[in-house]
Structure 1
C-alpha cells in the first residue's frame, strides 16, 4: 500500500489490525505515526497509546499491551519502533526478542488494537520466519524516498504554511546540500525560518550559511576529479580531507560507492530502465539517481570500470601496505593500480 492510500483509508476511519511501515524516510514515518495518534481521542491518548522501542523495550511488553482492552475507549494504538529482529542486522540488537509471541499475535490479533510496526530500514530479511509471516499477514506500507515532485510539494506546503517563500536557486542548493532527502530538508527549515524572519524570503546566501556540506558531497567533488584525471587537484583535495581527520578507508569506501552507482545506473539505463525504476531497483534516493544519470553522459563504461577496479586495489593496499594513505592515493592517481601495470 502507498502512503497516499493509507491516509485516504484513515480519513474514512477504515483500519486494519496490523501495519508494517517500511522505509528510511523518517519524516514520512513520523507523519504516519502522528496521523494514527490523531485517530485516538485526545482525552484517551494517555491510556490507549503505547510506544515501544525494540532497542530498549521488550517485544513481550508491547504485545501484552496490545492484547489488553482499550481503557474507556473504542480502540487503542500500539507503536513498535525499530524492530531490528526483522532485519539481517539482528546481531547488533541489544535485547533478545521473543518473536514467537509476535507470530501468535499475528494469527489472533486483538480486534480493538491497531498495531503499528515502524521499520526504518531499506529492506527486511525475508529469509526469517517472522518476516515471511508478517509480509503475508499484515498491511505493508512502504515509506520509501519521496519523488522529486512529492518532495517539492511537501516542502512548498510547509514553507507556505509558515508564511515564507524560497527562491528557485536557493531551493536547488538546498536539494544539493540535503541530497534531496525530505527528512533532511525538513530538519533544516526551522533554522532557515529563523534566519529569514524579517524578509520571509529564503535565499541562496542563507542556504550557504546554514546548511553545511556533508562528507559525501565533498567526496562527490573528489570523485569528479578522479574520474576526470585531474591529478594535482584530486591529490590536493584528498590531503585536505585527511587534514580534516577524515578516515582514509571511509573516503575510499564512499568513492567506491559513487563509482559503483554510476556503473549500475549506466548498465540499467542501457537495459531500458527509467529513472524511477532504477531508484526502485537499487533502493537509492531518486535525486542521487538523477545526478548519476546526468554524470553518466560524461564517462564511458570503460573509464568507470577502470576507476572502480583501481579504487578496489587502492583499498587492498591501504589494508596491507606500510605506505601512508596519501602516498597510496597519489600512486592510484598516477595509474599505479590500473590493470595496465
Structure 2
C-alpha cells in the first residue's frame, strides 16, 4: 500500500495537505491520525479551524505534551495564509516559520487546505516545503478512476463492462468520494465473482440532474413528447426551475451540434471532449444522439431553445406553456 504520508516508514512532525480532491485529503488525514494514535483514543487529537481560532492556538496545542498517546495530533483546517487567498484574520506566520525548524517531537501538526496551489513566494511556504511533508491531492482523471474501479472489482473477482464503468463515473460526476461509496454499494449488492450490469448501476446509483436532462433529450430524440412532459413535471416537483432545465437542455443540444460537426471533420470522441470542454461520457451520448439529426435540424433546435429562453426571461409568455411548446416543437424536428 502506498503511504506517502510516511518518510522512511516514520511519521513527520509537520504536514501540509493541499489540493482539490477532497476525498484524498480526507483519506490522508484519517491515515495520519490512525498512525499517530493507533489505539483510536482521540483525547490527544485536536481539530481546529482557523476561521474560528488562531494559528497561535494551533501551535500552543502542538507544543502541549500528549496525555495518553505517543503523539499529540493537531489538525488545522482553513489555513488560507499558505495560499494566495485573502486572509480573514492576520496569523502569526513568523512563529510557524520558526516552529518548522524544530517542531515538537511528540506532536504531529497537520495543515489541510482545499486549494489548487500554495503561494510558494511566501517564506513560510518555502520553509514548510523544506522541513515538512507536503502532499498535493490532485483530482484523478477519467483513466485513473477507471483503473481504480478495475482494481476494486478485481479484489472481489467481479466484472463490469467498460461502458458500465463509464456510466458509473458519469453518475458520480467523477467525484472520487461518491464513486467509492457507490461502488461499495454495488459490490455489496452483487455476489463475489459476479458481473455488475449497467441495469444495476442505473437502478442503484442516484440520477443527477444532468442525467435527467439526458433522459429528457432521449425522449425528444425519440419523438416521445408525452414521456418528455411527464419527466419535466416530475423534475418540477423535485424543485427544479424550468429556466434551469432549459439551460441544461441548451447545453445538451449544443454538444450534439458540435459533436456532429467535429465528427464529420474526423475528430474522435476524446478529441471532441477536449475541444468543447465536456465530459467524455457526455460527448459519447451527444454523438450517438446527433446521428438522428442533420446539422440543419440541430441548428433549428438551438434557435427554438434560444427563442424559448428569451420568452421566459422577458415574460412574453407563461414559463410552463413556453417550455411545453418547445418540447412539442423539438419532437417534430
TM tier, smaller: 0.5 to 0.7
Number of the residue aligned with 1:165: 158
- Structure 2: unaligned runs, 5 residues or longer: none
Q: 1:84: how far off?
A: 7.7
Number of the residue aligned with 1:13: 10
Number of the residue aligned with 1:30: 26
TM-score, scaled relative to structure 2: 0.64
Residue number among 250, 260, 263 corresponding to 2:244 in the alignment = 250
Q: SS state of the match for residue 10, structure 2? A: coil
Q: In 2, Cα distance between the equivalents of 1:257 and 1:87?
A: 34
Number of the residue aligned with 1:196: 190
Q: Does 1:318 align with 2:318?
A: no
Q: In 1, Cα distance between the equivalents of 2:321 and 2:95?
A: 59
Question: Which segment is superposed worse, 311-320 or 30-39?
Answer: 311-320
Q: In 2, Cα distance between the equivalents of 1:258 and 1:33?
A: 39
The 1:196–1:213 alpha-carbon spacing in structure 2 relative to 1, beyond 3 Å, is same
The 5 A counterparts of 1:267-306 are 288-289=279-280, 291-292=282-283, 295=286, 298=290
Q: In 2, Cα distance between the equivalents of 1:289 and 1:177?
A: 13
Q: Does 1:177 align with 2:171?
A: yes
Q: In 1, Cα distance between the equivalents of 2:54 and 2:223?
A: 54
Q: In 2, Cα distance between the equivalents of 1:265 and 1:118?
A: 38
Tell me how many residue pairs correspond in the alignment.
310
Q: 1:19: how far off?
A: 1.2
What CA RMSD, in Å, does the superposition of the two structures yield over aligned residues?
5.2
Number of the residue aligned with 2:76: 80
Aligned residues of 2:253 and 2:298 also touching (Cα < 8 A): yes
Residue number among 209, 219, 233 corresponding to 1:215 in the alignment = 209
The 5 A counterparts of 1:92-241 are 99-101=89-91, 103-110=93-100, 111-112=103-104, 113-119=108-114, 123=116, 133=122, 136-137=125-126, 138=128, 141-161=135-155, 163-168=156-161, 170-197=164-191, 201-204=194-197, 205-223=199-217, 232=225, 236=229, 237-241=231-235
Q: 1:218: how far off?
A: 0.9
